[in-house]
Structure 1
Amino acid sequence: MIVKEAEWLKKVNANIVLSDAPFLPCAAAASAGIPSAIVSNFTFDAVYSGLCEGDELDITIRRLAEQVKDDYKKSELLIRLPGYIPIPSYSGTQLYPDSNVTKQILNGCVTSNGSSDRISRRRNVIDVPLVVRKFKTPRNVVLSNLGISKEIFDSHKVLLVSFGGQNLVGIEEWGSPLPDDWIAIVCGNPGAVLPDRFYACAKDAYIPDLTNAADVVMGKLGYGTCSECIGHGKPFIYVPRPQFIEEYGLRSLMETQGLCVEMSKEHFETGQWKEYILKAYNMRGVCQNTDKKLTHDGGKVVAKLVEQFLDERLGTNKRIRRSNRLVYDNGTVSQPSLY
């Protein structure tokens, strides 16, 4: 796979690979003789470390996690997004406000290979503001396009269920999980049979438009959902996934930059939603602590950083010859699918 990807990178004359955040592209870039950068709040070696449970499978997990870390170590730059956890392949990034999280990672399957001094740019680690997608379409247009009448969306508040593909098995047995004057939009499952006051959206719906149209969002702690809730000032109800260690950083991000309520898996799966929805709605607003509030221009900042990094990496004499071609790991390049 690495050989195939390296050949493709050479064929398209790529100058740099940005990874968010699979590990093979870093190894492929090194094989092709070009730099790579990680643009993420986590890497999968840390995630895999959270799967260790003290049994014989830990031996395999440790071996694979170390292999993954070796691939990440072939990258030359870490552009670290808010909501981060320790990145094992970059020494000096092990500090995190929750010492228990750091301990889980460092004492789990992946170990630190450097000092715990604070990071600096000379370590090729740069923290950036929030990278967030913003809405494009006005709320009334978005809701009307979903077949929701103006009479309904003017008189009801909106819950966005943003898990993506949840089939909501047993929903017909829940009674009504929504407060009386609420409706819900369900993402990722347009063919599902939904009860009254639930609406399905297209599978390829632009989620920031739906987030902006909602009064409360319910979902899992993922960077996209968290950043878009913060960017649009929407309260967020999350259902935790205990073994996905990225959640620790994102929960901290939501607590300091946004508004969030935790719902137990049991209550989510049995439709006991009402009290959480109302609690979240009554918290609505944005982070008021201006001393700690992040700006939301991370996309522009990252773009400038990548250009500056590549110019310095190639050298002044090569700047004119640079093609400015970037290979992103965001689905915009159809082949191969790693990027």
Structure 2
Amino acid sequence: MMTIEDGLSASLNHLVFAYYVSGHGFGHATRVVEVVRHLILAGHDVHVVTGAPDFVFTTEIQSPRLFLRKLVLDCGAVQTDALTVDPIASLEKYSETVVAPRASILATEVEWLNSIKADLVVTDVVSVACRAAADAGIRSVCIGNFSWDYIYAEYVMAAGSHHKSIISQIAEDYSHCEFLIRLPGYCPMPAFRAIIDVPLVVRRLHKSRKEVRSELGISEDVKLVILNFGGQPAGWKLKEEYLPPGWLCLVCGAFEQELPPNFIKLPKDAYTPDVMAASDCMIGKIGYGTVSEALAYKLPVVYVRRDYFNEEPFLRNMLEYYQGGVEMTKRDLFAGHWRQYLERATSLKPNYDGGVNGGQVSARILQDAADGNNYASAKLIGAQRLRDDIVLGSQFRGRDVSIPEWYASAEVELSLGTGSHTISTARVEIHARGRNRALRLDDGCLIIVIGAWPGDVVERL
């Protein structure tokens, strides 16, 4: 693993990037914007392949070097509403979108990549793009905090093992990329051979808190909360009594019903970072975009859990680690029992003090990779990386994350042997280092341990 913290350096070459963006939600697109912005500022052309609306990119980037191509090459998670994921429908949709037309997709993308003379393929985190790049003879790099093989692994456990081939195919496609640029709050991602960690990728602010409130006609003494559950239909009705006296709520997303007087619907193209920085807290679900920008702008988040989205526990624990989150039950959300959560959230003092220049740092890495520099020298085979992730944990790993045994055996699924010797130790004791989890191994071996806490003694099976 490498850590890069420098800014974007100059390149003597004019480079062409093909940047594939996952079709799930806006979170992938909004962080891609920040990376693309720095690449374009450095004088390069970027072709973004996305299903997101143009305004997500053109609000931040007005340049003839930005090319938008409307295409979705993965489908993410299928949601029946803002908080409900359908695992079976998600796998079936992926089969329809990617598996069935796979040969046609690869042929089309190879031809297109060659037509634009791409120097590097970047993907967040569209797996088939890695294989298309390999077929076209072009290097590829992934960037993200999770990979779809990890998310779908839980769905396979619910839907049946006959879908397992989807996971193997996704992981195999990812294995074609040179390396992964890994964002904070990451999940285990065994398919990647080499990993570079970067700071949070967040969008910059355009306006001050005072300017935003003035434009909205909201005085400084009013408590302001954002309600943001993404682009899926919310499926419930908002009522005036949900808010304490003296509060207003700014509503993002797909709430189409008539709103009470203390709720204000934001336009679809509202620039969320500015609104977040002008608010006192947020109510929503947990995703990378929400968590990263909430931490960056010290905005407490009242969050509601989703089932079947393995990314969430890692981000949730990062949010709580920096004292930026309060959990609300679904029952209290729907019943309008918001007051206690809002009061608790506004008493928090989020203390994230890490870097927020991940967009600039990632752009530099991508530029160097496109220039021919090799960042993948200290390679870690996928299964070995998974062991490290599970044993040592992401810095903010949740104890409630379940990793299927067959997924943990990724070296067999991917035929990527690690050469590790047989584990002979009988027991190990878990020790804590702050929020990190580490093992003291009595014979130097790596042991996969899931859900263990400090002081636990783990017997070898």
TM bracket (short chain): 0.7 to 0.9
Tell me the residue number matched to 1:72.
174
Tell me the residue number matched to 2:313.
248
Deviation at 1:313, TM superposition (A): 4.5
Tell me the residue number matched to 1:179.
244
| Residue ranges of structure 2 left out of the alignment (5+ in a row) | 1-104, 375-461
Which residue of 126, 130, 140 maps to 2:196? 126
Tell me the residue number matched to 1:198.
263
Separation of aligned partners in 1, 2:303 and 2:111: 42
The alignment of Structure 1 onto Structure 2 pairs a total of residues equal to 271
Tell me the residue number matched to 2:145.
41
Separation of aligned partners in 2, 1:269 and 1:65: 35
Taking the TM superposition and a 5 Å limit, the aligned residue runs for 1:54-203 are: 57-90=159-192, 123-145=193-215, 148-149=216-217, 152-165=218-231, 168-171=234-237, 174=239, 176-189=241-254, 191-203=256-268
Deviation at 1:63, TM superposition (A): 1.3
Alignment check: 8 A CA contact 1:85 1:248 kept: no
Which residue of 3, 20, 29 maps to 2:133? 29
TM-score scaled by structure 2? 0.56
Partner secondary structure for residue 321 of structure 2: helix
Partner secondary structure for residue 204 of structure 1: coil
Tell me the residue number matched to 1:9.
113
Deviation at 1:270, TM superposition (A): 2.1
Tell me the residue number matched to 1:100.
none
Partner secondary structure for residue 131 of structure 1: coil
Deviates more, 1:258-267 or 1:179-188: 258-267
Which residue of 355, 361, 364 maps to 1:304? 364
Alignment check: 8 A CA contact 1:131 1:297 kept: yes
Alignment check: 8 A CA contact 2:240 2:262 kept: no
Over 3 Å counting, the alpha-carbon distance change for 1:80 and 1:169 in structure 2 is: closer
Deviation at 1:166, TM superposition (A): 5.8
Separation of aligned partners in 1, 2:333 and 2:211: 29
Tell me the residue number matched to 1:336.
none
Over 3 Å counting, the alpha-carbon distance change for 1:124 and 1:309 in structure 2 is: farther
Alignment check: 8 A CA contact 1:230 1:258 kept: no
Deviations 1:123-169 (A, max 9, x none): 52111111111221222332344xx42xx433311001111246554
Tell me the residue number matched to 1:333.
none
Which residue of 321, 327, 332 maps to 1:262? 327
Tell me the residue number matched to 1:321.
none
Tell me the residue number matched to 1:102.
none
Partner secondary structure for residue 354 of structure 2: coil
Over 3 Å counting, the alpha-carbon distance change for 1:66 and 1:283 in structure 2 is: same
Identity among equivalent pairs (%): 36
Letter in 1 for 2:184: P
Tell me the residue number matched to 2:299.
234
Separation of aligned partners in 2, 1:124 and 1:164: 32
Partner secondary structure for residue 75 of structure 1: coil
Deviation at 1:16, TM superposition (A): 0.9
Tell me the residue number matched to 1:19.
123
Deviation at 1:231, TM superposition (A): 0.6
Alignment check: 8 A CA contact 1:19 1:38 kept: yes
Deviation at 1:224, TM superposition (A): 0.7
By relative contact order (CA 8 Å, sep 6+), the higher-ranking structure is: 1
Letter in 2 for 1:135: L
Tell me the residue number matched to 2:273.
208
Alignment check: 8 A CA contact 1:42 1:85 kept: yes
Separation of aligned partners in 1, 2:183 and 2:139: 19
| Residue ranges of structure 1 left out of the alignment (5+ in a row) | 91-122, 288-292, 315-339
Deviations 1:187-232 (A, max 9, x none): 1237531112100111111111111111101111111110000110
RMSD, aligned α-carbons: 2.1
Over 3 Å counting, the alpha-carbon distance change for 1:213 and 1:262 in structure 2 is: same
Separation of aligned partners in 1, 2:170 and 2:124: 14
Taking the TM superposition and a 5 Å limit, the aligned residue runs for 1:286-305 are: 286-287=351-352, 293-305=353-365
Deviation at 1:85, TM superposition (A): 0.6
Partner secondary structure for residue 52 of structure 1: helix
Partner secondary structure for residue 249 of structure 2: strand
Separation of aligned partners in 2, 1:167 and 1:185: 16
Deviation at 1:254, TM superposition (A): 1.1
Alignment check: 8 A CA contact 1:177 1:272 kept: yes
Letter in 2 for 1:40: G
Separation of aligned partners in 2, 1:258 and 1:20: 28
Alignment check: 8 A CA contact 2:146 2:186 kept: yes
Separation of aligned partners in 1, 2:362 and 2:294: 20
Deviations 1:224-247 (A, max 9, x none): 110000110110111111210001
Taking the TM superposition and a 5 Å limit, the aligned residue runs for 1:321-336 are: none
Report which of the two has the higher share of strand: 2
Over 3 Å counting, the alpha-carbon distance change for 1:18 and 1:140 in structure 2 is: same
Partner secondary structure for residue 62 of structure 1: helix
Letter in 2 for 1:21: V
